[in-house]
Structure 1
Amino acid sequence: MNLIDLSWRNMKRNFRLYTIYFISMFVGVVIYFTFSGLMFNEDVVAAIQNKENYKTVIFIASIIVFLFIVFFILYANSFFMKQRKKEFGMYLLYGMKERQIATMVFFETLFLSTISVSSGIVIGGLLSKFFGAVLMNLMHYNDNISFAFPLEAIALTILLFALLIGIITIQSYFNVRRVQLVELFHAKEKMDKPLKFSMPLALLSILLIVASYFTITIADDTDIWKNHLEETLIATAVALIIGTYLFFRQFSGWILQKMSQSKNYFSGNKMLWISSLRFSIRGNTINFTFNSLISAIIIFAVGFIAVDYAVKADVVKKEFPNHFAFSTQDDATQQQIEQIMNGSHPIMGHKSITGIQTEKIPNRKMLYSYPEYYTEEFYLFPESQFNAVVDLRGVGEKVDLEGEEVIVLARGLDEPTKYTSPQLEITLLEDHTFRVVEKIRYPLLSIPTSPGGDTDLQPSVLVISDEAFEDLKENRTLTSYEIYQIEDPKTSNDISRKIYDIVMKTEGAYYSAYIDMYSVDTESSSLVLFSVAFFAVIALFALGSVIYFKQLREATEAREHYAILRKIGVDDKEIKKIIRKQLLFVFLPPLILGLVHSWFLLYYTVILVIKDSPSLTTIIFSVMGVYVLTYLIFYVSSTSIYYKIINEKNTR
């Protein structure tokens, strides 16, 4: 019998163990091919407006996805190898060399990888239509996505997983070499020693966690975050990490120790599952800590980005209220532009406005919090034209100014302000002094844009009274603009390109379109949300699997102990209760602590800001709910498999 035959027989004999390993690799291939396939899907690429940005983001994200998968599969392989130590010990005893065992493992990995990669590519290709449609839906595009098996994605998937097979083979070889023959035979008989728990360290864990929470809550009330951002962030993170570690290492162990000293310790099955957990604290601490912290990061990242995605469209709508705004053209060109609009997106409203352009005023700090985002020259518009634009948009409040009163129009970064005492004055046009009465967030002229996503400085706009405007406009530089509102501006990409090419033939012309920024922001936020959601799925699957694999190994090692329990009269119903309570302690504390961590992070960075928008708060609770549901599935599955494993010896 050669090594290939032996490898094939091993796979058939240990079908259940190989199935777990196969599923791990299969899921990895499906996820990676589905994700990377979107980078080369012609339908998706054709629908995207910013193609280069899309390909760059997807490529970087696919690499991160692959690194997640590498970590997950290497962990699965490590579990797989530990489960076979006795088998390898037998091979060494019969005279096989370590290199031969590694070769046998290589053939097994090759068989499994060939099946998982080929089937994973097929399933991933079939899923490409669904995930492509999801991405298009996030971007609010109506393009149809077909099933796709891009050759580039297939080649890249095969290449990267071939590299992974090589890494797995090397890992397996060193795992075999690292252990002595005697250790191989007794690998499953090793047990963690009970750990001594310290009450001071247990209390310290709670103190560190509470201190980190408190630091997060005072972010807006003190200057510690503003003046010492990096130091405070590092200190908070370190306190949270150490506190979480000590919570599982000391506090949970201390609680179990106190429970073991209680009067009713020997009643029911309490002694059985508590004693088992006390012995496993040492080995589970790192996993519990890692799971809690990663869970907090996943929930926070997905919740934060989901809310950002949800509000992005509203932000763009507020910052770019003009569907199209551009410098006034001659009559023939103006008519040509309107024909372009009416061809597919009928004009709903139109207004021409004329303003006075002032000299450059470098010092604008008194008016704007971030003057570097605005032009140095100002544009003065009369109140009547401003009010007409308010009517055109159907959003905003009209103004009523007298004499030399002026209102500053700002973007979202500036806080609305009313100036009463002391009065704020500004001198323009050499000798004309105006009294600033208010600053409002209402862009009359938005940031200049281009269909490619490039932007420029926002025009600095002041609204003055009609009387002041009439007095100033004689012998001044006047600039005129056309503002249009159209039907369904979210699908006007092609129109924007055509109008932009016409308007920008004139050097220095102004052009701004809602769709330009909407498509850029929507595509970027959709890509980020889509990518982070993928990362979250992979990370959640990996975290759950880490716990899952560890419980399978512990179940295999505990079969003899449960066999003894059966001999002394413990029935199946009682054993199931013991298993459920034991695994509940394994799954529940990391989940709860991760949820609490993420809640504090989300509450003081997101929820307080959006508390007046219940629909946005619901998004965060939905993310948490999905996470809890997924963990519940892992818990139920683990208890079922755990019970089957400990029964294997008894059913043979």
Structure 2
Amino acid sequence: MIQWKLATHTITKNREQYLPFILASTMLIAVNYIFWSTTLNTSLKRTINGNVAVNLMFLGTIFVTLISIILMLYINRFLIKQELNELALYNMLGFAVKDLKKILLIQVILLFMISTSLGLVCGVVFGKIFFLVLNALVQGSHIVEQFKISSFVLVILTFGGIFLLLFLNDIKNIYKISPANLWQESQKAESEPQGNLLGGIIGIALLTWGYGIAVRTQPNMKSMLRFMLAIIIVVLGTYLFFIFSSIVFLKFLKNKKKFYYQPSHFISISDMLYRMKQNGASLASICLLCTAVLVTIVGTMSLYVGQEHLINNWNPYDFVISQKTPVSQNAYKLLEQTATEQHVKIKSIHKLAITTPVPISIKNTGITPGFKGASHQMATLTVDNYNQLENTNYHLSPHKILIYSEDKPIIPKKMFINGQEYHTQIISHFNFAFSYQRSTLKPLFIITANQKIAQSVNPNSWLYVLGFNTGGTTKQVNKFAVKLPGALRLKTDNYSAIPIVKKAIHALFGSLLFIGGLISLTMILVTALLIYYKQISEGYADRARFQTMQEVGLSLDETKQAIRSQVLTLFMFPILGAVINLMFAFPAIKNSLSLFSMYNLRLLVVVTLVTLFLLITYYLVIYGLTTKIYTKIVEQRSHNLE
């Protein structure tokens, strides 16, 4: 069958273009399989916070599927454009449109079969590794790998639909153009785009608006929804900025005669301007993908790395019990009895009496209670209680207070609280500092001279808190942690045990990092492929122009210099844009993490810098590799001329 031979010949002949396509679709199929396999895993659902993890995995699956559709349509657009030459030749040789459709159908079926087979095999193999990673991340929640036929079926149906969409898109390209101009379509050049100053201004305005919303994001759900709006605004602004502002900027450089008429600048600027409308969209996509990778990794990695700090913030001791009434002697007896039954030793018990925390905002002149603009939750205690816990010897006058908060907010030396002026002193240690009911607000403790002043600062009722560590095997302590709430009739909000908290936090944050890592891996792959096909596409488009310029005297060294100048300029825009996006998103990331009671700014900064370094390194490696491919394509004709 001649159509079969022509279809296979096209794939093997153009393997430089089709092998990356097969690699991309194989990896996307593998990632989709891992997502579906994890989403449908019943043992994951049975873990602590398992329902949350499964729902997040499902959202991740939808996201990866959408990314797969977009990327494969993008790559296919490049492939069909390159293939139009051969289709035109076949048409001139007498092949009808139905024959061309058969060739395309055979190609799509072959690519689908190869990609699906390789992708599912890779998915199963790498799935084993990823399940080991997931088990290591969740620390203690044993998740069993499960082979479900439904995972295979869903992946095959999903990518069957995607490849069908690619085929229909190819058919549309055939019908859209007549046989007479089919050959010319693949060679059609874009006219120089007109700089749209209004579009550029709108893009900058949208970016400014989006950045403003992101910077003002507060740690509450209303602000988080506004941050989602900011993301959409920044996406639109980024596309408009790269498409229109870049054209205006290049035209500005073109008008600088001394700069523009240097050989390397002349070639790179004129070439970029020639196709900037398409380039702008591609560069914006790369910029946004890099931004998404940075935000995802910084957020999930910060949570995972900082989880021990978070656990200590919730539980300064192994067990923390809080209630509205003083702990009775009978409760102490039940505590000791339960510990004895589970062969657990209770170490020294620490007692704390605080006023029930109230949300506050810290102003230049004082503290204002209320949820509006709240940044901390404030509790008060007496100096005698603090001295007893910390083994210190502070003495306070009625108008002096000590203030402790881990995040060390800026506190004036004199401040008003509920109409009363106090002299303040910041202290750096409070071993019993904890986040009451795991609030999203940062805990702040005020130590006063006596109970009367403590309640004038915070009129809320008193809260009586016990904290103690335990001795025993892990199994014994875990059993004790499960038995104690029932023995003392404790509510969930009033009881926090490190064995239970650790298991829940490890399961949740481990799952988040796993999902974030998989999504980031997908976006990194997509970024690399976008860059690769962009370079190949431009290489073939530029080859004839470089040949013409060499015929009129451009040397090989000048050609290489022009290539480096053009590629470097194009490549630096997206990564620079991603860094700027991350800078403005940083306050929103910080405040989003505080919803998980994560306030460690130093850790967040370190994770951000390390992630930036790794992504920029990866980006430069891709830049180097694709530049070599671009240079090789452009120089193919050059060597033939010599």
Whether TM exceeds 0.5 here: the answer is yes
Residue 23 of structure 2: aligned partner: 23
Residue 258 of structure 1: aligned partner: 255
Q: How does 1:322-361 map to 2 (within 5 A)?
A: 322-326=317-321, 333-339=334-340, 342=343, 347=346, 349-351=347-349, 353=351
Partners of 2:58 and 2:622 lie apart in 1 by 31
Amino acid at match of 1:73: M
After TM superposition, the structure 1 stretch with the greater mean CA deviation from structure 2, 613-622 or 435-444, is 435-444
Amino acid at match of 1:299: L
In structure 2, do the counterparts of structure 1 residues 5 and 497 end up closer, same or farther at CA, with 3 Å as the change threshold? farther
Partners of 1:554 and 1:630 lie apart in 2 by 22
Residue 364 of structure 2: aligned partner: none
Residue 130 of structure 2: aligned partner: 131
- Find the residue that maps to 2:34 and give its secondary structure: helix
Q: Do the aligned partners of 2:380 and 2:445 also contact (CA within 8 Å) in 1?
A: yes
Amino acid at match of 1:616: L
Residue 166 of structure 1: aligned partner: 164
Q: Please point out which of 298, 308, 320 is paired with 1:303.
A: 298
In the TM superposition, what whole-angstrom CA distance separates every residue of 1:562-597 from its partner, at most 9, and x where no partner exists?
444455565544433332222222212222233233
Q: Do the aligned partners of 2:407 and 2:599 also contact (CA within 8 Å) in 1?
A: no
Partners of 1:576 and 1:626 lie apart in 2 by 28
Partners of 2:305 and 2:18 lie apart in 1 by 43
Amino acid at match of 2:268: W
Q: Please point out which of 535, 547, 550 is paired with 1:551.
A: 535
Q: Please point out which of 153, 170, 187 is paired with 2:151.
A: 153
Give the deviation of 1:18 after TM superposition: 1.8
Give the deviation of 1:632 after TM superposition: 1.5
Give the deviation of 1:497 after TM superposition: 5.7
Residue 636 of structure 1: aligned partner: 624
In the TM superposition, what whole-angstrom CA distance separates every residue of 1:404-459 from its partner, at most 9, and x where no partner exists?
9999999999998999757669xxxxxxxxx999999987786469xxxxx99999
- Find the residue that maps to 1:483 and give its secondary structure: strand
Residue 512 of structure 2: aligned partner: 528
Give the deviation of 1:132 after TM superposition: 3.5
Does residue 111 of structure 2 align to residue 109 of structure 1?
A: no
In structure 2, do the counterparts of structure 1 residues 145 and 232 end up closer, same or farther at CA, with 3 Å as the change threshold? closer
Consecutive unaligned residues of structure 2, counting only runs of 5 or more, are: 322-326, 362-366, 454-460
Residue 178 of structure 1: aligned partner: 176
What TM-score results when the alignment is normalised by the length of structure 2?
0.74
Residue 324 of structure 2: aligned partner: none
Give identity over the alignment, percent. Answer: 16
Q: Do the aligned partners of 1:350 and 1:482 also contact (CA within 8 Å) in 2?
A: no
In the TM superposition, what whole-angstrom CA distance separates every residue of 1:472-512 from its partner, at most 9, and x where no partner exists?
xxxxx999875322369999994366225633657899432
Partners of 2:228 and 2:520 lie apart in 1 by 28
Q: Please point out which of 269, 278, 284 is paired with 2:279.
A: 284
Residue 622 of structure 1: aligned partner: 610
In structure 2, do the counterparts of structure 1 residues 56 and 101 end up closer, same or farther at CA, with 3 Å as the change threshold? same
Partners of 1:350 and 1:464 lie apart in 2 by 25
Q: How does 1:567-578 map to 2 (within 5 A)?
A: 567-568=551-552, 570=554, 572-578=556-562
- Find the residue that maps to 2:275 and give its secondary structure: helix
Give the deviation of 1:291 after TM superposition: 3.0
In structure 2, do the counterparts of structure 1 residues 301 and 461 end up closer, same or farther at CA, with 3 Å as the change threshold? closer
Q: How many residues align?
A: 605
In structure 2, do the counterparts of structure 1 residues 507 and 648 end up closer, same or farther at CA, with 3 Å as the change threshold? closer
Q: Do the aligned partners of 1:37 and 1:153 also contact (CA within 8 Å) in 2?
A: yes
In the TM superposition, what whole-angstrom CA distance separates every residue of 1:594-645 from its partner, at most 9, and x where no partner exists?
32332243278649x9999555322212222222222222222222222333
- Find the residue that maps to 1:83 and give its secondary structure: helix
Give the deviation of 1:185 after TM superposition: 0.4
Give the deviation of 1:467 after TM superposition: 9.4
- Find the residue that maps to 1:325 and give its secondary structure: strand
Residue 48 of structure 2: aligned partner: 49
What TM-score results when the alignment is normalised by the length of structure 1?
0.73
Give the deviation of 1:19 after TM superposition: 0.9
In structure 2, do the counterparts of structure 1 residues 298 and 439 end up closer, same or farther at CA, with 3 Å as the change threshold? same
In structure 2, do the counterparts of structure 1 residues 285 and 145 end up closer, same or farther at CA, with 3 Å as the change threshold? same
Q: Do the aligned partners of 1:357 and 1:380 also contact (CA within 8 Å) in 2?
A: yes
Q: How does 1:64-79 map to 2 (within 5 A)?
A: 64-79=63-78
Give the deviation of 1:539 after TM superposition: 2.6
Greater RCO structure (CA 8 Å; 6+ sep): 2
Give the deviation of 1:134 after TM superposition: 3.9
Partners of 2:542 and 2:415 lie apart in 1 by 77
Q: Please point out which of 584, 590, 596 is paired with 2:568.
A: 584
In structure 2, do the counterparts of structure 1 residues 352 and 251 end up closer, same or farther at CA, with 3 Å as the change threshold? closer
In structure 2, do the counterparts of structure 1 residues 170 and 604 end up closer, same or farther at CA, with 3 Å as the change threshold? closer
Q: Do the aligned partners of 1:99 and 1:173 also contact (CA within 8 Å) in 2?
A: no
In the TM superposition, what whole-angstrom CA distance separates every residue of 1:517-549 from its partner, at most 9, and x where no partner exists?
444444334433433343333233323422321
Give the deviation of 1:154 after TM superposition: 2.9
Q: Do the aligned partners of 1:492 and 1:515 also contact (CA within 8 Å) in 2?
A: no
Partners of 2:182 and 2:525 lie apart in 1 by 30
Partners of 1:258 and 1:488 lie apart in 2 by 78
Partners of 1:369 and 1:411 lie apart in 2 by 21
Partners of 2:314 and 2:553 lie apart in 1 by 73
In structure 2, do the counterparts of structure 1 residues 536 and 489 end up closer, same or farther at CA, with 3 Å as the change threshold? farther
In the TM superposition, what whole-angstrom CA distance separates every residue of 1:374-429 from its partner, at most 9, and x where no partner exists?
xxxx99987666655556xxxxx78767899999999999998999757669xxxx
Partners of 1:556 and 1:478 lie apart in 2 by 76
